[in-house]
Amino acid sequence: MKRKVEYMEKTDDLDWYHSLVTRMNTIRDEEELRKALDILLEDLMALLEAEEGAIRVWPADKKSTVRAQTSTKNFKLCFDQLDAPECVCSQALASGKMGTRKLTVAAPPPGSPCAKLGAETVICGPVVTAGDAGGIFMATLSNGAQGSGDNTKAPDGKALKLSSMALASLGHTLDNLMDRRRDEAMARDMETVNYIGGLIAGKLTLKEMVREIVSRLGQVLETDEVNVIAYDQEREELSFLASYFHGGSTLGRPEVYPLSDGMNSWIIKNRRPLLMTHDTVTECAKLGIRHGGRPAKSWLGAPMIFQGIVVGVVSVQSYGKKGLYDEDSVALFKAVANMCAVAVVNARMFGEITEREAEKGRLYFSLTHDLLSLINPIAGFARILNSTPSETREETSRIASESILMATDKITRFAEDILVYAKLKSGKLALDISRRNPAEPLEQAIRIYTPELQARSIRLELNGAEVNLNEKLTVDNALDADLDSAQMERVFLNLISNAIKHARSVIVVSIKATDSAVEIMVGDDGDGAPKDECENLFLDYYQAHKGKRGVGLGLPSVKKIIEMHDGKIWIDSDTGKGFTITFSWPRTLADRPKARRGVETGHDSGVHQRVEATL
């Protein structure tokens, strides 16, 4: 002991308490608190004539423990934090939670750790903070203490009163320290919010911005991992936008995954923050949440909400520290999450505007070339008519007028294709479903292209038999399906037009049906397309054959129309092996997925039994 009992006897009680309070009021951080606890413990040990003791405080934010202890090797508090066993310490902590500051003097229960160490009497008192137990003081009496009339030794009343006053002053110090921490945290939080607001107002890309945000949160919250996750409501998918890992570590995981029953999905479904303070595995089990990934000691997530719509989740986790996040952290997180939501939505809107502008540029460029290619023949035929002598004009006029009509028909169809594409792109095209034979819209398309087929000497085969272009197409009346006849004709027009451009001598078409599906194939014997480019042909404006110009919207429009019929479409081709495109769709509305039944009203949607039929 550095301080002797004589020192306390020579020191006026009021002076000592004033010195104590003054020292406590100067504490600004945990290091200063730790030094003050060492001095306070020495004073209390001298005042109570105790030989061993300890002080432990647990600030209200539950993020750190500060302690002081005598140098003896035998004595120590036998519990962690403030969760004491059923002993004298437990009674003191219980009274502290009730706001009672009185010291307890008692013999340790038989078999308790204090009794095993040989202590005859234990003095124990709570450190009360804001009406709760924020710490504990404990000491064992020396042999020189006065008796209290029974087997329990105790110091005099004045010493106990002064000790209680000292512990009360320590409680006030902890309250002041926590107020300071909260003020600093609030200032830091405001700085973080302002910083993130500056990022959103800046010109960073979405990826760059969220990387800055997670890095900032990782530093402010002293966490191991921070994630910003976007949510696609239409696809019900979550995707990681950015992550922060303390120390640069990484974890293997899918970058995109479906909405499920995990923690991030729970936040999206419940539209509120999720706070776990001790063990994510145990707490997930209590909430019925599936735990995935590495278990964490502390976890916090909040939804990113913009105008009532959840657009994602921000989450943080610590693998080594319990109770790292609290309600103050939740408040900060909700503010940051909502700011992130604005950033994500703004970035998406900017991306959509940029894409629309780029699409306009591509469309204007393609339209200019295609319109010129359609108009030039009309101008050429007009010049021919104008320069033809009157005596030979009759036959020439007939041929020229037919060609002009064909060219104007192509311009009309071209304009209609652009309008239909715009409706498909915006989702404003509604199907007019009726029970029809798929060969009917096919025949309409063939009739439109008959002159061009004949002019290029291209043979057309249907289900293995050559089609006589001068006769009406023979239709098997047993073959019918639910379809939009006008849009299906547009599909055939696009596919046959595409085949005419590339075929050498023949275009092959087949139609077959089962009880539940219709499958149609259109192929040609042209040069084909590279196998690795086939999927790209469904992209807007993409053209595999740069020499044969087109607006590049035909196949994308065909694909969208087939998908609106709940169908699928695919390409089979390779360089020098021709080009075949196949598509299929459910034969009746009853055969379509349940989610789509009833969308097209006013038509038969019952299930019909059919046998396989072909033309």
Tens of pLDDT, residue by residue over 99-122, are 677 788 888 888 887 777 777 888
User: What does R_g of the chain's alpha carbons equal in angstroms?
Assistant: 42
Residue whose entry in the numeric block shows the structure tokens 């005859």 = 120
Q: Is the CB of residue 610 less than 8 Å from the CB of residue 513?
A: yes
**pLDDT higher than 80, residue 212:** no
pLDDT at position 550, please?
47
User: Can you give the pLDDT at residue 37?
Assistant: 87
The pLDDT score that the predictor gives to residue 388 is: 64
**Reported confidence tier of residue 337, pLDDT bands at 50, 70, 90:** confident
* Higher-confidence position of 84 and 386: 84
* Residue 601: both structure tokens together: 């009203």
Domains in the chain, CATH or no CATH each = 5-181 (3.30.450.40), 203-344 (3.30.450.40), 429-614 (3.30.565.10)
Residue 344 pLDDT > 80, yes or no? no
Q: Is the pLDDT of residue 389 over 90?
A: no
Question: For the segment 132-181, what is each residue's pLDDT rounded down to a tens digit?
Answer: 778 888 888 755 444 444 455 567 888 888 888 888 888 888 888 877 77
Three-class secondary structure of residue 104 per DSSP: strand
pLDDT at position 5 is 45
Query: What Cα–Cα distance (Å) separates residue 318 from each residue in 95, 175, 211, 222, 461?
Result: 33, 26, 19, 8, 68
Contact yes or no for 604/538 (Cβ under 8 A): no
Residue 191 has pLDDT above 80, yes or no: no
Residue 488: pLDDT over 70: yes
More confident residue, 125 or 554: 125
> How far, CA to CA in Å, does 178 sit from each of 2, 58, 184, 604?
30, 11, 10, 72
Per-residue pLDDT of 241-264, as tens digits, reads 777 777 654 545 557 888 988 999
Tell me the C-alpha distance between 68 and 45, whole Å: 12
pLDDT tens readout for residues 2-21: 444 444 554 577 788 888 88
User: What average pLDDT score do residues 380-390 get?
Assistant: 63
pLDDT band with cut points at 50, 70 and 90 for residue 355: low
Highest mean pLDDT among 347-356, 363-372, 601-610: 347-356
pLDDT at residue 609, rounded to an integer: 31
Angle between the N-to-C axes of helices 13-25 and 30-47, in degrees from 0 to 180, rounded to the nearest 10:
170
- pLDDT recorded at residue 164: 87
**Are residues 251 and 237 in contact, defined by beta-carbon separation less than 8 angstroms?**
no
Six token digits for residue 229: 């996750």
CA-CA distance, 422 to 418, in Å (whole number)? 6
pLDDT for the residue numbered 572: 92
pLDDT in tens, 565-580: 999 999 999 888 899 9
Percent of the chain with pLDDT over 90: 16
How many Cβ atoms are within 10 Å of 172's Cβ, its own excluded? 16
Report the alpha-carbon angle 10-16-20, nearest 5. Answer: 150
pTM metric for this prediction: 0.41
Q: Between the ranges 30-39, 65-74, 356-365, 513-522, where is the mean pLDDT highest?
A: 513-522
Q: 């019918």: which residue's tokens?
A: 480
- 345 has pLDDT over 50: yes
Percent of the chain with pLDDT over 70: 65
CA distance 504 to 521: 18
Mean pLDDT throughout 326-332?
Answer: 79
The mean-pLDDT minimum among 321-325, 548-552, 557-561 falls in 548-552
Neighbours of 63 (CB within 10 A): 16
- C-alpha 289/C-alpha 276 separation (Å) is 12
Residue 424: pLDDT band by 50, 70, 90 thresholds?
confident
**pLDDT grade for 481, boundaries at 50, 70 and 90:** very high
pLDDT band at 26 (very low <50, low <70, confident <90, very high): confident
Mean pLDDT of the residues in the chain:
76
CA distance 314 to 300: 8
Q: Is the pLDDT of residue 76 over 80?
A: no
Q: Is the pLDDT of residue 461 over 70?
A: yes
pLDDT above 50 (res 466)? yes
Q: How far is CA 116 from CA 74, 108, 113, in A?
A: 10, 9, 5
Q: How many residues does the chain have?
A: 615
Span 504-558, pLDDT tens digits: 999 999 999 888 999 999 999 999 988 888 888 887 766 655 544 444 567 888 9
Task: Kindly state the tokens that stand for 102.
Answer: 């009185």
Helices (H), ranges, 280-392: 280-287, 327-387
Handedness of CA 353, 357, 358, 363 (dihedral sign): positive
pLDDT of residue 610: 31
Q: Are 503 and 458 in contact (CB under 8 A)?
A: yes
Q: What whole-number distance in Å separates Cα of residue 20 and Cα of residue 474?
A: 108
